[in-house]
Amino acid sequence: MIEVQHLTKRYGRVTAVDDLTFKVERGEILGFLGPNGAGKTTTMRILTGYMPATEGKAVVAGFDVFEQPMEAKRRTGYLPETPPLYPEMTVKEYLQFVSRIKLKGVSSSERRSRVDDSMRKARVDDMANRHCGKLSKGYRQRVGLAQAILHNPEVLILDEPTAGLDPKQIIETRQLIRELAGTHTIILSTHILPEVSQTCERVVIINKGRVVAIDTPNNLTARLRGSETLYVEIDAQGHDVSSVLQAVPGVTGVSVTTKGDGPVGYEVSSERGRDVRRDLARAVVAQNYGLLELRASRMSLEEIFLSLTTEEKEPEQPAAAGGEQHG
């Protein structure tokens, strides 16, 4: 549905997007993840035909965005980073204007029902007669979303769709996006990592315009797990279980993470690629200890993200934080 090949965009001497290649299948939600200035917005602007790429090719809904921009644009809905609203228009007037420039050869009654439809889906119908300039940030974002889905496009490109929303709205918007997937192919960008694991089927992590990783959120976490570590919590009524754990075949190290009168938590590391969970559980239970918890301690997406996008460098101490040396 969306195919990007060797896409490169240079602003003068700044390379914002550097040889980007990825693919999105029909009905899929792709998360676009990267720190500030990674090139997310730039990529999306190229895909939506806002600006041409310096090099490379992008095909959206079967149409090359440089060769057949009109066809591609007709099938693409785009929510820019700042929702493109005209402050002097009411929400309804605005969407009516959008419907006039986006829908061709459609009767005015059909157009009206599309406007109503998109207002309902984006939950802005209660603000239909409010001026866009007087909307709160969250509602502006939603009207922007209504605008993007108005012509029922095959492809949706959403630049930080949940930025600036309150927690409840974030959940609602994510739900809306999940509902839209299946009938639409979606690319969304975000800095918020849980968002990606909650809404997206696949993730592209980019940094400085380059792809760092493409995979499902689950695979990413699995793939990046260093050595296999497990977290085990055991109620052993004061006995030391370390030796028992250590005796399990495949276990390479045991360390106590939480101490107390009650249950004790252990970090158990094992040989890479060897699943010791069954043996571990059996060994604990055989001693008649209470096995309260046993889970793989995975790297969170946050950690993956940081490990992928942060270069190995000593963090510089900001001079101001150094304290008052000159009292």
Ligand X SMILES: Nc1ncnc2c1ncn2[C@@H]1O[C@H](COP(=O)(O)OP(=O)(O)OP(=O)(O)O)[C@@H](O)[C@H]1O
Shortest separation between residue 60's beta carbon and another protein, angstroms: 11
Mark the segment that binds another protein (CB under 8 A) among 80-88, 185-193, 230-238, 296-304: 80-88
- Which stretch in 10-18, 56-64, 173-181, 237-245 sits in contact with ligand X by CB under 6 A? 10-18
CB-based contact 147:94 (threshold 8 Å): yes
Tokens representing residue 208 in the block: 């400085």
Residue recorded with tokens 């990592």: 193
Quickly list H helices, 49-161: 69-74, 91-102, 108-121, 137-149
Among 36, 107, 109, 243, binds ligand X (CB under 6 A): 36
Please give the structure tokens belonging to residue 1: 């549905």
Instruction: Establish if 280 lies at the interface with ligand X (CB under 6 A).
Output: no
Select from 82, 219, 237, 310 the one that contacts another protein (CB under 8 A): 82
Beta bridge partners of 251: 270
Rounded least distance, CB 11 to ligand X, Å: 3
Largest Cα–Cα distance in the chain? 78
Nearer to ligand X, 143 or 205 (CB): 205
Residue 307's SS3 state is helix
In the complex with Mg ion, which residue's Cβ is closer, 41 or 221? 41
What residues from 31 to 60 belong to the interface with Mg ion (CB under 5 A)?
A: 40-41
**Dihedral sign of CA atoms 249, 255, 258, 260 in order:** positive
Q: Could you tell me which residues are beta bridge partners of residue 255?
A: 267
Q: Does 16 bind ligand X (CB under 6 A)?
A: yes
Out of 20, 22, 39, 203, the only residue in the binding site for ligand X (CB under 6 A) is 39
Which of 21, 26, 37, 175 touches ligand X by CB under 6 A? 37
Residue 119 C-alpha from the chain's centroid? 25
Regarding 130 and contact with another protein (CB under 8 A), the answer is: no
Give least dist CB 118 to another protein, A: 14
Contacts of 275 (CB under 8 A, 6+ apart): 228
- Rounded Cα distance between 203 and 220, Å, is 9
Binding footprint of Mg ion on the chain (CB under 5 A): 40-41
Binding footprint of ligand X on the chain (CB under 6 A): 11, 14, 16, 34, 36-42, 191
